[in-house]
Every structure is written in structure tokens, then in C-alpha cells.
Amino acid sequence: MAQTAATAASRNAPATAESVAEAFLVQMKQKGIDCLFINSGTDSAPMAEAYARQHLSGLDFPQPVIGTHENLVVGMAHGHTMVTGKPQAVMVHVSVGAANAVCGVMNAKRDEVPMLFIAGRTPLYEKGPLGARSGAIHWAQEMYDQGGMLRELVKWDYELRGGINADEVLDRALAITQAPPAGPVYLTLPREVLAERTLPMPVDSAPVTVPLPPAPDPAGVGALAEMIAAARCPVLVTSASGRDPATVPPLEAFCERFGIGIVEAKSRYVCARADHPCHLGQNVHPVLGEADLLICLESEVPWLPGTREPEPGTRIVHVGVDPLFQDYPVRSFRSDLSITASAARLLPPLTEAVTRVDTTDGAARRKAAVSALAAARRARREKRLAPLLEAPRMTKDWLNHCLNEALDDQVILINEYWVDREIYDAHRAGGFFMHSPAAGLGWGLPAAVGAALAAPDRAVVAAMGDGAYLFCNPAACHQASAMHDAPILTIICNNARWGAVQQSTIGVYPDGHAAHGPKPAPLSDLRPVPDFEKYVEASGGHGERVTNPVELPDAIRRGLDIVRRERRQVLLNVICE
């Protein structure tokens, strides 16, 4: 009877941690980390043991999500956070794993994505404590300053020195990664520290307190309101305000009410629906001759100085949680006013301020000017598509037209390069994501797998070029899609070349030998390219090679149906000009 009572008492006792690794995992979960995207190595042995003992410990850990390349796990975490808005954790193998992940971390930094990036650290001791060096690699992999590889690309880096303050270190890391402007933080974990045994004790970690985003200065809001009221043709240029989907309806309402044009300058999110009456497209250059006020909202490159500049008399305002983009070594776009504020914090007081100073006649004049620019944009688009509608050809414009024909608003579209929103109409907030301003190749497919994990009830489509697809370690990505039941439709624009390299060469040397010589230009030719559809078939997916432009819309619909109905991944290898 006494044994039975003791057993019952143990079942009712709170779950307890018996190692630093266990306590660390519990604390991450209690602070809001749902997933640990991991490319494990010898340094993760204490983590693996903690997960192996979980059925006995009863501890609640983040869900482990394995990926077989570091770029993959960073990209999956990036994609998951884009969809959910919640930071996740990534763990890679010591110095060598961190080196492989640098490109992905740079993407997250430039895209202001919160991320707890963790790497093991080569064991500190050659022998002695549990977790000390046990393989020859543990000497060669040690660095004098492992954090130095990433220090410029993270907001904070630190090495956990012991289990006694793991909770406090995690709290600081997660607060800093989410504080505006968000971005990755880097924590290294020596194996001996993780393996350290502790007295059995319950873990009770407090939630993280994240600083609120900055509120705009009232004087700045008033000055901007006066500029809007005085403007003849104001244009708001944004690249990332739609990172917060809740800002899309108020931004649309604000611009429509006061007659302000919207340009999504190479936007990475849906910042305003494509059919908004004030939408002027993705390129500000065609309207610079008319705009007398530019409001650059969360836009790191609102225009290309070498292509066209705003008129000298145009007033220019920059708004964002970091309107100077202080991590960019050189960025010299002129400004008459800069306001530190998020879109969510700016729009309510700015709406009130413009209402106080604006007149009905002023709004009507601005609406007429913006309406004329919107009509000109629609005419340019119709002219661009007309030849293809008459005689379809497998060009990028045709691919974008086919996306419009085949995709519905429930789809999440992840774009690495070829989707052009001058043609593809993105309507739903949170339904479109594009690579970061750094554009580190190989991001698209990992991000799509992460998005599919985060939104299992929505179909995810990854659109990328052949070069970007090769960069993403496709075999590892398709394996992860199958492993984690995260099916996606991948559409590859396969023109057997790095188009960006060719276009850049011809752009710099328009009258040069590359411009007038055979195509592809030197250094951009990828021939012979693999049969990309075979990659997805190797992981149980469905692959198709598409060569007839007329058949492309049905191929996309067929792929979506397989993803949704069979929960199986699909790849369309579209042979393009």
C-alpha cells in the first residue's frame, strides 16, 4: 500500500529538470518558443538526452524540427515567424554549423525577423567533466571568437557560462530579439554547461517582457499632416509595413480617405491590396515626376538613385522604427522629416492630425491626381500583357499571369525572385512574402516549408528561379517537407541561367560585348541543369515538366489539388525563355 501511495504521489508531483539542458528547453517553451529548428551535431548530445528522457521527466519542451542543412533550419524558422509573428529558435553545430548559416542569419537581420539563433560551442575542457571533448574534431573546430562570424548580423551575442543564470540569459535574448526593430540574437552553448547535472527541481520561467514600439513625436505628426494637406500629389512608398498584417486595412483607409498614392517598392509583404484605388504599383520611378510629397514608410530603398531621383521640390519624409536603417553602412536618401514610429503607432494620430488641417477640396484634388497615375499604371500593365494574351510564350510575365489565373486568396505565396507584382495581384494580408533586402539565395524553399508548418490549413506555393533552387539544397528541403508533413507546391522558372547576373552585366555595360554577344552572358550560364522534378520524386512527391505555356494554369491548379487533397508535395519544372 505504501508503494502504491508513493507512486501516486510521484505522478502528481510537478515535473522537474535534472540537467541544464532540460531546464533550458523548458524555459524556452515557457517563454513562448514553440519550435526548435535543429541541425544537430556532437554538441547537441545533452539536448538529445533531454528529449529522450522526456517521457519520464514529463517536461514540456519546444517541438524539435530537424533539418539536414543549416540554411534549411534557419530558413524554416524565418518562414514560420513570417506567418505566425512569433520568434522561434534555431540550433546548429558549433563553429562549422554557424558558418553555413551566416547567409540565412543575414536574411533574417535585414528582414527584421526575430530569431533565437543557437550554436553549440566546442567543449571547453580536454577531459574531466561530463560533456568534455570526446572526438578529434573538438580541437580543430574551436575558434578564438566564434561569435565574431555573426556579430555584425545579430543584435546581441553571448555564451552561456553556467546553468545558474540560464533563465536570465534567455529572458534577455528573447526580449532583445523582439524589441523593435526585431532581428536575430546569437547564443553559444558549451556542451559541458548543457550536460551539467542539477538537483531535481521544478522549472517556472516568467514570460518575456518586450519593449513596445516607439510612438511618433506629436510635432512630427503635425508637420507631416501639414505636408499632406499642402500636397498636390502625395505618394506613400512602403516595402515592409505589411509585416504586421493588422496595418493593411488602416493604411488602405488612410490613403483612400486623403487621396494618397501607394507604391509598394519591391515590397516583401502585402502592404495594400492590389486592387486598391490608390495603388500605383511596385515601382516609384514612373510617378516621381508628379509626386510632390514622398512618405517612405519602412522602405530601405524607396528609389534607385542611379535610375531616377525625386524632383528637387519634392518633400521627402522617412518613417519607421529605424528610419535611418542604421545597420546599413551607406544610405543617403535625402529627407525633410524623419519620424521614429511603427506604422501601427503612426496611422491613428496621423489620421486625426490630417483631419484637423485638411479640406474637402484638397482631398478631392489629391484623389484626382492619384487616380490619373493609377490609370496610367493599369494601361502600362495591359500593354505589357497584350502580346502574351494574343500569343502565349513561356516568359516570366506569362508565369505571373498564370499565377493570377490559378491561385486563390487562401494561398500563401513565397517568392524568391521571379514573381512580379506589377502583374501578379496579391490581395490578402499575410498571403505574400518575398526574400529579404539582402536576397541571400536559397531562402525561398526553406521559408516555404516553415510557412507550411505554421499554417497547415493553407496551401503554400514557393516560386523561385533555377539558380535560387540550386542554392537551397533541394534534396534536404524536400526531405524536410516529407518528414514534417509540410507539403508545398514549388514552381521553378527554369531558363538555365542566373538572370540577375546577366541583367546586371548588361545594365552596367549596355553597349558592351555581353549585351550584343550570345546569350546567356558569361558567368550566368547554368547549362546543363538537372531534371528538377526528380528531386521531389525522390522524397515521395509529384513532379512535372511544363513546356507548353497554354497548359501552365492547369498544371498549377493540378499541383494545388495534390497538395491540398493528398497532402503531398509537388514541383513544376517550367521551361522558360
pLDDT digits (tens, 9 = 90+) for 67-83: 999 999 999 999 999 99
Instruction: Give the whole-angstrom CA distance, residue 31 versus residue 48.
Output: 21
Handedness of CA 404, 410, 411, 412 (dihedral sign): positive
Name the band, by pLDDT with cuts 50, 70 and 90, for residue 15.
confident
What residues pair up with 90 in beta bridges, in sequence order?
37, 117
- CB distance 410 to 458 below 8 Å: yes
Cα-Cα-Cα-Cα torsion 444, 447, 451, 453, nearest 10 degrees, comes to 130
Task: Identify the band that residue 4 occupies on the pLDDT scale cut at 50, 70 and 90.
Answer: very low
Q: 519 with 545: CB under 8 angstroms?
A: no
Cα separations in angstroms, 340 against 255, 301, 540: 20, 17, 49
* 14 pLDDT tier (thresholds 50, 70, 90): low
Beta strands in 378-425 (DSSP E): 412-416
Distance CA 184, CA 116 (A): 6
Return the pLDDT at 493: 97
What's the whole-number mean pLDDT along residues 120-143? 95
At residue 224 the predicted structure's pLDDT band, cuts being 50, 70 and 90, is very high
For residue 219, the tally of other CB atoms under 10 A from its CB is 10
134 SS3 class? coil
Please state, in angstroms and as integers, the Cα–Cα distance from residue 11 to each residue in 8, 25, 201, 242, 571, following that order.
Answer: 5, 21, 15, 48, 49
CA atoms in the 13 A half-sphere facing the CB of 449: 30
Q: What share of the chain is helix, strand, coil (3-state, %, to 5)?
A: 45, 15, 40
Interior angle at CA 187, CA 186 and CA 193, nearest 5: 170
Span 141-160, average pLDDT? 97
The per-residue pLDDT for 499 is: 85
Contact present, 40 and 66 (Cβ < 8 Å): yes
Go through 262-286 and write b for each residue having 16 or more CB atoms within 10 A of its CB, e for each that does not. Answer: bbbbbbbbbbbbbebebbbbbbbee
Least confident of 237-241, 367-371, 415-419, 504-508: 504-508
DSSP state at residue 497: B
Angle of helix 45-52 relative to helix 20-30, nearest 10 degrees, comes to 70
Task: Report how far residue 475's alpha carbon sits from residue 165's, in angstroms, rounded to the nearest whole number.
Answer: 40
Secondary structure E strands in 368-511: 412-416, 432-434, 460-465, 489-494
Residue 13: which pLDDT band, with cuts at 50, 70 and 90? low
Dihedral pair phi/psi, residue 384, rounded to 5°: -65, -40
The pLDDT value given to residue 285: 97
Alpha carbons 154 and 147: distance in angstroms, whole number:
10
Angle at 103 between CA 428 and CA 139, to 5 degrees: 145
Give the residue-averaged pLDDT of 166-170: 97
Domain positions in the chain: 2-202, 218-380, 392-575
CA distance 471 to 441: 6
| pLDDT of 197 strictly over 60 | yes
Q: What is the pLDDT of residue 7?
A: 39
Beta bridge partners, 571, equal: 490, 543
- For 83-178, strand residue ranges (E) read 88-92, 115-121, 157-159
Q: What does DSSP assign to residue 180? A: S
Q: Is the pLDDT of residue 553 over 70?
A: yes
Question: What are the residues whose beta carbons fall under 8 Å from the beta carbon of 260, sequence distance 6 or more?
Answer: 228, 234, 235, 236, 254, 278, 295, 366, 370
Structure confidence at residue 5 (pLDDT)? 39
Total Cβ atoms within 10 A of residue 173: 27
Which residue's entry shows cell 540577375?
500
Write the pLDDT tens digit of every residue in 26-46: 999 999 999 999 999 999 999
Give the three-class secondary structure for 469.
helix
pLDDT above 70: percentage of residues in the chain: 98
- Give pLDDT, residue 58: 94
Is residue 50 predicted with pLDDT exceeding 80? yes
C-alpha cell at 547: 513546356
| Mean pLDDT within 217-239 | 98
Q: Which of 41-50, 85-94, 515-524 has the lowest mean pLDDT?
A: 515-524
End-to-end CA distance of the chain: 80
For the chain, give the mean pLDDT.
95
| Architecture field, domain 218-380 | 3-Layer(aba) Sandwich (3.40)
- Amino acid in position 117: F
The secondary structure element, H or E, covering residue 453 is helix 444-454
pTM of the predicted structure, to 2 decimals: 0.95
| 2-202 and 392-575 share one fold | yes
Cell 524589441 belongs to which residue? 179
Q: Model confidence at 201, in pLDDT bands (50, 70, 90)? A: confident
Cell of 1: 500500500
- Looking at the predicted structure, is the pLDDT value of residue 11 above 60? no
Pick one of 3.60.20.10, 3.90.76.10, 3.40.50.970, 2.70.160.11 as the CATH number of 2-202: 3.40.50.970
DSSP for residue 42? G
112 touches 62 (CB < 8 A)? no
Three-state SS string over 249-300 comes to HHHHHHHHHHCCEEEECCCCCCCCCCCCCCECCCCCHHHCCCCCEEEEECCC
What is the spatial distance between Cα 328 and Cα 301, in angstroms, rounded to a whole number?
A: 11
CATH class for the domain made up of 392-575: alpha beta
